[in-house]
Structure 1
Amino acid sequence: MSSNDTQIQHDTKLDQSLHPKSDKDRTVKPRDYIFMWIGDGVNIGNMTLGASVIIAGVATLNILQTIIAALISIGIISTIFALNDRLGYKTGIPYVVQLRMAFGTKGTVISSLLRGVPAIVWYGIQSWIGGTALNEIAKIVTNGSFDNVFICFVILQLVQIVISLYGFHAIKWVETIASIIFIIGLIYVFGILVTQYGEEITSTWVQAEGSWGLPFFGLIMVFLGNYAGIFVSAADYSRELKTGLSNTKRGALYFIPIMLSYGFVIVIGAMLASATGVTNPAIALPIILNNDILAVAVSAFIVFTVIATNMVANVIPPTYVITLLTKLKYKPSAILAGLLALAAFPWLLVQESSAAGLNMFVLIYSAFLGPVISILLVDYYIIRKQRVDLGDLYNENGPFKGFNPAGLIAMFIGAAAAFIQVDLAWIIGLIVAGISYYLLAKFAFKGSSFKKGTIFENK
């Protein structure tokens, strides 16, 4: 153990799982990382995003516009990932500790909940979708004698809790297996759509006039919003990745798998909606795969996508948040995250009567996540010039003690601005919060301990 590790243990009350990851503790290879993001990108929700370009049988975007919007989005996502993952990759710290620089040890509670609470809610929603698919398998296998979605939901959730107890060691294997299944399944569905529904897809989507206006930029914003919760906590993933990779190579580790999975899934979602006239992929898929054997395969596919998505996006981040807030160790926190997802009543959230409330919930937390990522990047790259003292980050009585008013005020200013134009909320919040944070850090709160180590120290 190094003297720095000893000092961190002395100064912090945080659990060992939140301490910096050493080089020898990092078990995720670049190949594993690619499979992880492929597994995360392939899910019914992302397919729905592709289907959303077809409204009432009319395409708001044609194939060229859809693909260009996707490529722009994936390029932005990969860039932000590679920028925001750098501190976690270099030092091995998790997201909840990274937040201390810009928000303070107590202010981190607020900003970490903005990532943790939505993740738990989506953990439950995804699991309910998976439980529904598992129940479809059970009905077919038992010839209808078993039909209980809730039991299937609980079983699936318990399986995911067990997997989550083994951390990234288990996750990387789950994602590797799932990714191979996903790619084979997607290629099969793509082949059916091209050979059997090519004419409908061409007339409805490929040759559509589409728009280069608000629908085009709206798809980009929704694309970015879907990843807002994930790349804001990029450090949680990069701290597990083996060292020695350049920033460019790490950027490729995001761009390639996200393009392969998310890009492919969006295209298939648009093709499904064009071919069937149905925008819900869970309903559209059985229409083109119309027999029991394929129905079981599709349902199994959905179950795998749920597990893969939850393991990456909805398990680790809230587990770290719970560990931070409760001082529990990693495994009890992972169990608690899974139980809270059970208690989120996801069967109520996925009903049509709840759609407006759920959409409002997504809108509110997404409006804060753009500002949070902006503040973190401005703080690390511009104000601190990538120089961070780990000892200070873990010192409960150090310069990051308490609340950083500059970070919290900038976050709320950015979120308020985001609601001015909802369709462009993410980018508006990101720009406004970043500028506000820089100005507040420079001109306000003179004598603040958060200026230590920054370009504004002693000014």
Structure 2
Amino acid sequence: MTKDSSNLTQGSRRESLNPISNEKRMFGLSTYIMMWISSMVVIQIFMVGQSFLPPVGSLNLFQAGVVTFVSALFLWVIFVLNSKPGLTYGIPFIVQARSAFGYNGARIASLIRVLPAVFWYGIGSWIGASATNFITDSIWGYSNIWLYFILFQVLQTIIAYSGMNSIKWFDSILSFVVLGFLIYIVIQLIKFGGLNMENSWENNDGSWGMPFFAAITASVGVLITAAINNGDLSRYLENKPKNNRIGHFFGIVPMFLIMMFIGILSAAATGIWDPIQAIVSVIPNPVVAVAMMIFIIVAQFTTNLTINIKPPALVIMEMFNLKWGTAVILVGILSIATFPWILVSSSAFNTFIAFYSAFLGPLLGILLTDYYIVHKQNYRVEELYQRDVKYNWLGIGSMFIGGIIGICFLSIAWMVSMPLSALLYWAGMKFIPAYRVQSTPAAVDKA
């Protein structure tokens, strides 16, 4: 196995999944943080925050704030934990998954991860097209959202087509612009909706029951996909002490808090569900409103490139040994087929998140159990690139059992399914003779 053939370019195939040695990593701590800052402008987080307060939700402002902080800390922990194999060994998510699911079984697990990404890709592009439509309608009186949606798909495909370096620099350069606009939005929401927010704080008893836990489920669920496959990005980060904890804390937590609070504040201040209309309604003049829409357009590019295009393209490239550029084009086409214009305006938006997180929770729980408990953070990396074990039915079965039971508790799906599948997998690896031998700590083989 050639260890340094992993530079992801338009012509890359399966060899780009080989381990990346530490001296070949393209991200230092600062560029990694900047990449995540720009990638975390996820309008879907904004929409989840909007759904906490009436009329959509039943929490008050204080409870929504507690949900936000709890979710942010939990996300930080799972990002740090599940990024460790990629950071340590330089391997991507689909290779990491082979340990728990087998060589072919990892493809099943990967499809469960990447299908939601294709949906989110389409949703992000539709939101960006809506912002573009607002700009041209306001300035020139021209409206054609379908044209803008297709243009969005084409432009994002062109940027992602060139590979990891173009994604890195596009996201990193725009991180400061993104942060400045977000702070401005928060100030405008507080200024515009002060009285409404005060009433929401004082006059709504809210709920500390199931709606509170359902809100945490949705908040974590919207980013649990990125936490599962973050090895695809952490493998490019220099493996130095504290890079994992510091990089993910400053790259993810502050931005998650800001995006969630923007959604919560917009719900309290405006009561408008549509994210574009909610933001525009608190902007003081058309010039600033247009600038804000440009920001939303840019934000969809940065988020989609990192979180929603790269994961499914990598899986398609691995499964069919296609070139990276070809896989990127296919992902763009598939995202159009998800009909995002229907989902983004649907009252079932949070139900959609809960449904797919019912299976993503078990996937994450099994990955963490396999790495930290079964293998004691020691992988024989060479074995992960061999086809000796095509399917680990214990891992696959534990994931599906947990996911099906999670659906029965849909509003708190991953909270139920994640620990259940982790427990089933651990018990099987410990007590079933056919699997017990695999739980012996392996020799360390680090990139």
Question: Is the pair's TM-score, using the shorter chain for normalization, greater than 0.5?
Answer: yes
Shift in Å at residue 112 of structure 1?
0.8
Q: How does 1:202-217 map to 2 (within 5 A)?
A: 202-205=198-201, 208-217=204-213
* Contact 1:50–1:267 (CA under 8 A) maintained in structure 2: yes
Structure 2: stretches of 5+ with no match in the other structure: 7-12, 443-447
Q: 2 CA distance for matches of 1:61 and 1:180?
A: 32
| Equivalent in the alignment of 1:234 | 230
Q: Return the alpha-carbon distance in structure 2 between the equivalents of residues 341 and 420 of structure 1.
A: 28
1:373 matches 2:372: no
Contact 1:388 1:453 in 2 (8 A): no
Distance 1:189 1:84 in 2: 32
TM-score (structure 2 length as normaliser):
0.90
* TM-superposition CA deviations, 1:101-135 (whole Å, max 9, x none): 00001111211101122211221221122112112
Partner of 1:170: 166
For structure 1, list consecutive stretches of 5 or more residues without a partner in the other structure.
9-13
**CA shift for structure 1 position 161:** 0.8
Query: What residue in structure 2 maps to residue 11 of structure 1?
Result: none
The answer to whether the 8 Å contact 2:90/2:235 transfers is yes
Partner of 1:21: 20
1:431, CA displacement in angstroms? 0.7
C-alpha displacement of 1:455: 5.9
Letter in 1 for 2:133: N
Matched residue type, 2:384? L
- Give the equivalent residue in structure 1 for 2:125: 127
- 1:142-163 deviations in Å (ceiling 9; x for gaps): x21x321111111111111111
* Contact 1:62/1:207, CA 8 A, preserved across alignment: no
Residues 1:274 and 2:268 aligned together: yes
Distance, in Å, in 2 between the alignment partners of 1:286 and 1:7 is: 47
Contact 1:61 1:215 in 2 (8 A): no
Offset, 1:240: 1.0
2:138 aligns with one of 129, 137, 140: 140
Q: How does 1:288-327 map to 2 (within 5 A)?
A: 288-289=282-283, 291-327=285-321
Name the counterpart of 1:416.
Answer: 404
1:394-415 Cα shifts (integer Å, max 9, x gaps): 112x3xx211111011111111
Between the aligned partners of 1:6 and 1:186, the Cα distance in structure 2 is 39
| Identical amino acids, percent of aligned pairs | 34
- Give SS of 2:400's match: helix
Whether the 8 Å CA contact 1:59–1:204 is kept in 2: the answer is no
Deviations 1:231-286 (A, max 9, x none): 0112111001122133xx41232223323211112222222221222233322222
Instruction: Give the aligned partner of residue 81 of structure 1.
Output: 79
Q: Distance in 1 between matches of 2:57 and 2:94?
A: 44
The CA deviation at 1:172 is: 2.5
User: In 2 relative to 1, CA 307–4 (structure 1 residues): closer, same or farther, beyond 3 Å?
Assistant: closer
- Does the 8 A contact of 1:17 with 1:329 survive in 2? no
2:340 is aligned to 346
Cα distance in 2 for residues equivalent to 1:175 and 1:27: 14
Aligned residues: 437
User: Partner of 1:201 in structure 2?
Assistant: 197
Tell me the amino acid that sits aligned with residue 158 of structure 2.
Answer: V
Q: Indicate conservation of the 8 Å contact 1:58/1:204, yes or no.
A: no
**Structure 2 residue corresponding to 1:452, chosen from 435, 438, 447:** 438
1:102 aligns with 2:100: yes
- C-alpha displacement of 1:361: 4.8
Give the stretch that moved more between structures: 163-172 or 200-209: 200-209
Mapped contact 1:86–1:235 kept (Cα < 8 A): yes
CA contact (8 A) 1:54 1:279 kept: no
Paired residues of 1:44 and 1:282 also in contact (CA < 8 A): no
Distance 2:105 2:82 in 1: 19
- What's the TM-score, normalizing by structure 1? 0.88
